[in-house]
Amino acid sequence: MLARINPKPLSGTVPAIASKSMAHRIIIAAALANGVTRVACDTTCADIDATIRCLTALGARITLIEGGYEIHPAPKSLEHGLLRALAGATLDCGESGSTLRFMLPVACALGADATFVGAARLGERPIAPLSDELIAAGCTLEGVGGFPLRASGRMRAGRFELPGNVSSQYISGLLLAAPLLDGDTEIAVTGTLESRPYVDLTIDVLASFGVTVDIEEGATPGGLPLTVFRVPRQGYRTPGTIAVEGDWSNAAFWLCAGALGRHSVTVRGVSPTSIQGDRAISAALMLFGAKGQRNARAATIRPDRLHGIELDAHDIPDLVPVLSAVAACAEGTTRFTGCARLRIKESDRLATTAAELANLGACVRVDGDGLLIEGRERLSGGRVESHNDHRIAMMGAIAAVRCEGPVEIAGAEAVNKSYPAFFDHYRLLGGDVELFDE
């Protein structure tokens, strides 16, 4: 699909969609609980659908109801009291890295004989050292490094060790699997933990399902930071009903449009007290010079004179593409650091962010594990390739707010991964966008 945008400022109010990060975690926990859970979640996307598809393959029953889902956990084994995974199940993760990295440890904890499949780029994204830890815990993994990936054998409880500079999704996956194991579990993370807010989000969801996680902060004998997550032997207990809150990650695109435009943009349905790390978008935009306001139900950004900043993005890597669009139109130099994780997303987001903004006339280059951006008042416009990456497609659409000429986004259907209604909401804020079959 090709999106053609005639540049104009965006303004007004748009509703937040449900948090994809929270929905993954809640739906998995509900499918593993001791009873039926009703989940309030008023939007979906390709990634959430992938997680539901995998849980259904393992025997859970998930039905659409008004405003969300009713989730019946997979049947339990009478002999062991465990959820009974379907032998020979095929789990199609689509393009969702979260689904694969969460569901692989869960399937291993269930002792499922399961085959994972998905899109080619997902199969190429690294899964070690998570896969090494699962094998050490008694599982057999065949086909690591691609698809199909077959898992068999049941994971033993015990101690799992990971470096802090790997994907936080590995840690979250082990935390989600831990309540299914036969004993106490420790997850020891050495070094600074990347994307810590996403692990905190997992722990918060576990608490909602009655699972306690003890955290000990310390240091290794060599002086490196050491974080140990301890999960005592326990099971998931349904809260009965639970709601998925509004998504800060996708709200960020509209708030950045507010910073780049002429009038304010408000996103309704996001919480300023959310555990989601990407709520930092408001603070980041105010560092650039935009004006911000938040209350219990909404966030607003108003434009003002923008200037370059320096920002360590190791806790908020998903915000880098759209913040780069803001930086491209901010006076002076912006430097983003701590972005190494962006190389193994749906695309190499360091490379694709730099290349596609440059295609629109920005002055941006990769600088080690970060980006260096020289701002200018306006961009020229041009053609953006999405690289099948939802955040690159949406970045291009937001950058169009400050372009002199039209912007075309090739592969614009990539937004369906996280935000199928993105272009509808773009129009809701006054955007001029046409969609064509390519």
pLDDT along the chain (438 residues), means of 10: 96 97 97 96 94 95 96 68 63 95 96 90 89 96 94 95 92 97 96 92 98 96 94 95 97 98 96 94 98 93 97 94 98 96 89 97 96 97 96 98 98 96 98 94
Pair 199, 172: CB distance under 8 Å:
yes
Pair 286, 294: CB distance under 8 Å:
no
pLDDT of residue 79: 41
* CA-wise closest residue to 157 among 201, 108, 202: 108
pLDDT of residue 126: 85
User: Which residues sit opposite 315 in a β-bridge?
Assistant: none
Q: Which residue type sits at 331?
A: E
Residues 251, 267: Cα–Cα separation, whole Å: 6
Enter the DSSP assignment of 29: H
| E strand intervals along 232-289 | 241-243, 265-268
Sign of the CA dihedral running 163, 164, 168, 172: positive
pLDDT of residue 125: 85
Residues 209, 285: Cα–Cα separation, whole Å: 35
* CA-wise closest residue to 115 among 137, 146, 80: 146
pLDDT of residue 87: 65
Based on the number of CB atoms within 10 Å of its own CB, is 217 exposed (0-12), middle (13-18) or buried (19 or more)? exposed
pLDDT of residue 40: 97
Comma-separated ranges of CATH 3.65.10.10 domains in the chain: 2-17+246-436, 20-243
Residues 89, 65: Cα–Cα separation, whole Å: 26
Number of H helices, E strands in the chain: 13, 24
Tokens encoding 219: 């240091």
Based on the number of CB atoms within 10 Å of its own CB, is 54 exposed (0-12), middle (13-18) or buried (19 or more)? buried
pLDDT of residue 78: 37
Residues 380, 328: Cα–Cα separation, whole Å: 11
pLDDT of residue 287: 98
Cβ of 221: how many Cβ atoms within 10 Å?
Answer: 6
State which CATH number among 3.40.50.2000, 3.90.1570.10, 3.40.50.12280, 3.65.10.10 fits the domain covering 2-17+246-436: 3.65.10.10
HSE-CB at 377 with a 13 A cutoff on CA atoms is: 1
Q: Which residue type sits at 305?
A: R
Residues serving a catalytic function are: 318
- pLDDT tens column, 236-272: 999 999 999 999 999 999 999 999 999 999 999 999 9
Cα 223 from chain centroid (whole Å): 31
pTM: 0.94
Q: For the domain made up of 20-243, give the CATH fold.
A: UDP-n-acetylglucosamine1-carboxyvinyl-transferase; Chain (3.65.10)
**Residues whose CB falls within 8 Å of the CB of residue 223, separated by 6 or more in sequence, listed in order:** none
Angle value at C-alpha 414, between 409 and 420, nearest 5 degrees: 110
Reduce the DSSP state of residue 8 to 3 states and report it.
coil
pLDDT of residue 83: 53
pLDDT of residue 416: 95
